[in-house]
Structure 1
Amino acid sequence: MKVALFTDTFLPDVNGVAKTLGRWTRFLESKGAECKVYAPASVTEDDPDPFRVERFYSIPFVLYPECRLAIPNPLYIRKSLHAFQPTIVHCATPFNLGLFGLYYARRHGTPFVASYHTHFDQYLSHYKIPWVEPTLWKYMQWFHQSCSKVYVPSESTRQHLASKGLNNLEIWSRGVDTQRFQPEVNRQEVLNVYGVDASKFILLYVGRLAPEKSVEVAFDTFAGLPEHIRVDAHLIVAGDGPSAEALRERYGEQHNITFTGFVQGEALAALYAAADVFLFPSATETFGNVVLESMAAGTVVVGAAAGGVQDTIEHGVTGMLCKPGDVSAFVETVKGLHASPEQRRTMEHAGRAYALQQSWDEIFAKLYNSYEEVSKVGKISGLRPDDMRMIR
């Protein structure tokens, strides 16, 4: 099997999509498959594997500046694909690079799959351009019509795309490294790094600081707690993004709110485990990797009852769900958890037990089998004469 993967983000970028695709390519290679990744140039650091990843000059994507839109070199891509001769094309983006994958597959009759990672349609209102949505969905329907499979990370995402007219949807879930994300940690040592009193009731948010993440709900929840709880509590916000500066200006001077900036690796795993409650109010997640990471670390999650988050959390068993944007519901839930350490412990154990069942190897094995099925079914066709003449 020879896989050409087209994506707008890849390692060493640090986000859920890049990490998942990086794991997937390593799994494929462990099975003897060959991979060629086509991705934008990374702005974080040098590519650790330049021989496997073809990089292209890129510009920030307006809805997600941390993700890049590549400016492809058509001649170079054509030569690269001709030399590689993929047996399956996988597009993890419907945008610039994804178009080249689509047109190559259609022109050469190569089996073609796609994966859906981000609810860009739900971002539009947050960025004050909701009028773009009808055009976006027409484009998405056109792009995915040739796909043998469209892989989605959760049941709620599958239902959302089905309602928009997309077909051949199959769930490709997400796993978690339960050896890295685990409950055993020296709480005081971890929190000392951030100057936080370990005796406090610790609320944690981890994620991108951006409008579509509804981060303000976490701050409003903290502010809405009764005084006797709030003075005994501390909110830690781990992440960065376009809203970071404004949030720091508004909340950064409060002694019981700490902005850590971007945290990853072992430091992030330890931070999850050191917290008492993980607050995640985002209603736009296709999955929500951070939710599963927190559960694996033995920290109860209070999340929005929307998107992929509601598919991961069993309300009242492995975590708690609140109506999206309902600050009063989040406040009451946190109050209840503060008052009942025993309830927290029960849900923490249940969340950890659920996370232990989410094996990357099993998830990837299913996806690999799906690839093989697609490859056996055969080729696609349907390239129109006016479709991307430069790829010929």
Structure 2
Amino acid sequence: MLDLQSKSLGEEAVQPLNGLRVALFSGNYNYVRDGANQALNRLVDYLLRQGAQVRTYSPVVDNPAFEATGPLVNVPSIAIPGRSEYRLPVALSAAVKKDLAAFDPSVVHVASPDVVGHKAVTWARDRGIPAVASVHTRFETYPRYYGFGFLEPLVVAGLRRFYNRCDALIAPSESMVALLKEQGMNDDVSLWTRGVDRTIFHPSMRDMAWRRSLGIADDEPVVGFLGRLVMEKGLDVFAETIERLRKQGVRHKVLVIGEGPARGWFEDHLPKDGNGTGVFIGHQMGADLGRAVASMDVLFNPSVTETFGNVTLEVMACGLPVVAAAATGSRSLVNDGKTGALVTPGDTRQFAKALAAYLTDPALTRAHGDAGEARASENSWDRINQAVADTYLRLLSADR
């Protein structure tokens, strides 16, 4: 029997998409909270409000991180070895195929290049149904963080085969669109950027009393980390950079927002002598997350795995500068020297120099933070999600 979950949205449609039926395949729709699956849930919310029908096929667990938006059909899966919080879809079972055939989608949207994603694309191609893939992370970079960097060319080749079997790709940043084309992943790549909730992420959420409760003095600048605590987020680069700041005598505290399997490693590798000591507050949501983000002074994001960088946009919306690796995602958001600083990935000396500039110059921090907030205000979720619907409709109207 199929596991079926749903959420009633009850919001008025603004642009009708009646007759559009989207089958969405995701390796993680809601059982672990991250930027990718939250973007997918917002997309489904938008499509349903516009009159489309959407059915999502993804692993289902007993206690998901958040309630799924729209109907959710369970796909057989197994826990990923060493990362048991994530599950790997393993089969397009007979029950799922029967449900899929009954739904009779007009478009198949695949959000992860896993086994079931491959099978879903094959299912669509066999029936002449457009297949769209959204790219949410740079999977080819993951092996380098676990000592298997030599496998990266093989991963790139596998992704190229998968993405070229799709009719079109959608990617969340202009830099990622360019990279996918450069890598030969597909010739048809559209932009699906990300939005930000200004009721949560806004400078007014800053709370100095809350900071004091964490042992952070009002005149003590805060370097923030926001995201899953996993090695592929660049935790080693972050820790080494903070150690450089400590040795240089740059006064600061580190505020870490998030949870993950590498939390213990991160705690062990941040300085312990009071100058740069990390304050870990775990996973935050809603207004609590907005308060924590706005109470930083600068975000440090050394990761090169993001295709967009939701956390970067959220911090910018709070009127704060960002020091980030000059990689896909961040390059499309951070205006180097105006809203933050872009640094060669892994260059801890330059990262420390960029951070020190903000930590010692409040006027520079305010100026770049204000510019970042202005940039973030351009991102409207409904306008952004309509771009995905436009890709669906373009493929449906093309001669096939």
Taking structure 2 as the reference length, the TM-score comes to: 0.88
Residues matched between the structures, number: 378
CA contact (8 A) 2:54 2:70 kept: no
Shift of 1:132: 2.7
Partner residue of 1:127 out of 142, 146, 164: 146
Is 1:181–2:201 an aligned residue pair?
Answer: yes
Cα distance in 1 for partners of 2:206, 2:293 equals 12
Cα shift at 1:101? 1.5
Counterparts of 2:336 and 2:344, CA distance in 1: 12
Contact 1:124 1:133 in 2 (8 A): yes
CA distance in structure 2 between the aligned counterparts of 1:99 and 1:227, rounded to whole angstroms: 50
2:24 is the counterpart of 1:5: yes
Q: Verify: 1:159 aligned to 2:178, yes or no.
A: yes
> In the TM superposition, what is the alpha-carbon distance from 1:226 to its structure 2 partner?
5.8
Alignment of 1:178-257 (within 5 A): 178-225=198-245, 229-230=249-250, 232-251=251-270, 253-255=272-274, 256-257=277-278
Task: Tell me which residue corresponds to 1:170.
Answer: 190
Which one of the candidate residues 108, 112, 130 is aligned to 1:111?
Answer: 130
Match of 2:384 in 1: 363
2:331: which partner in 1? Answer: 310
Query: What is the TM-score when the length of structure 1 is the normalising length?
Result: 0.90
RMSD: 2.2
Give the secondary-structure state (helix, strand or coil) at the position aligned to 1:117: coil
Deviates more, 1:196-205 or 1:55-64: 55-64
| Residue type of the alignment partner of 2:158 | Y
Going from structure 1 to structure 2, the CA distance change for 1:43 and 1:240 (only over 3 Å counts) comes to farther
CA contact (8 A) 2:31 2:61 kept: yes
| Cα shift at 1:215 | 1.6
Alpha-carbon separation, structure 2, partners of 1:130 and 1:338: 34
- In the superposition, relative to structure 1, how do residues 214 and 298 fare at CA in structure 2: closer, same or farther (>3 Å)? same
* 1:161 CA drift (Å): 1.9
Partners of 1:86 and 1:371 in 2: CA distance: 12
1:325 to 337, 346, 364: 346
Structure 1 residue 47: Cα displacement: 6.8
Q: Which of 86, 97, 109 is the matching residue for 1:90?
A: 109
| Pairwise CA distance, 1:274 | 0.7
Cα distance, 1:22 vs. partner? 0.1
Instruction: Quote the offset at 1:227 in angstroms.
Output: 6.2
| 1:10 CA displacement | 0.9
Offset from partner CA, 1:353-373 (integer Å, 9 cap, x none): 000001111111222112111
Alpha carbons 1:111, 1:378 under 8 Å: kept: no
TM-superposed deviation, 1:36: 0.3
Q: Does 1:336 align with 2:367?
A: no
What do residues 14-48 of structure 1 show as CA deviations (whole Å, max 9, x unaligned)?
10111000000000001100000001124643873
Do the aligned residues in 2 keep the contact of 1:337 with 1:344 (CA within 8 Å)? yes
Match of 2:13 in 1: none
Identity %: 31
The structure with higher relative contact order (CA 8 Å, sep 6+) is 1
Change (3 A) 1:156 1:65: farther
Between the aligned partners of 1:128 and 1:115, the Cα distance in structure 2 is: 27
Tell me the CA shift for residue 151 of structure 1. 0.7
SS where residue 385 of structure 2 aligns? helix
Where 2:225 maps in the other structure, the secondary structure is strand
Structure 1: give runs of 5+ residues left out of the alignment: 380-392
The CA deviation string for residues 59-118 of structure 1, in whole angstroms up to 9 with x for no partner, is: 334586543212335201111011100011001111122123112101211111111111
Contact 1:38 1:97 in 2 (8 A): no
- Write the letter of the residue equivalent to 1:184: S
Query: Does the 8 A contact of 1:285 with 1:307 survive in 2?
Result: yes
**Amino acid corresponding to residue 234 of structure 1 in structure 2:** K
Task: Name whichever of 47-56 and 337-346 sits farther off.
Answer: 47-56
The answer to whether the 8 A contact 2:234-2:303 is kept is yes
Contact in 2 for aligned 1:41/1:70 (Cα 8 Å): no
Q: Is the 8 A contact 1:117 1:152 kept in 2?
A: yes
How far is 1:50 from its partner?
8.8
Partners of 1:180 and 1:330 lie apart in 2 by: 28
Cα separation, 2, equivalents of 1:138 and 1:115: 17
Q: Please say if 1:145 is aligned against 2:155.
A: no
How far off its partner does 1:275 sit? 0.9
* Separation of aligned partners in 2, 1:37 and 1:297: 32
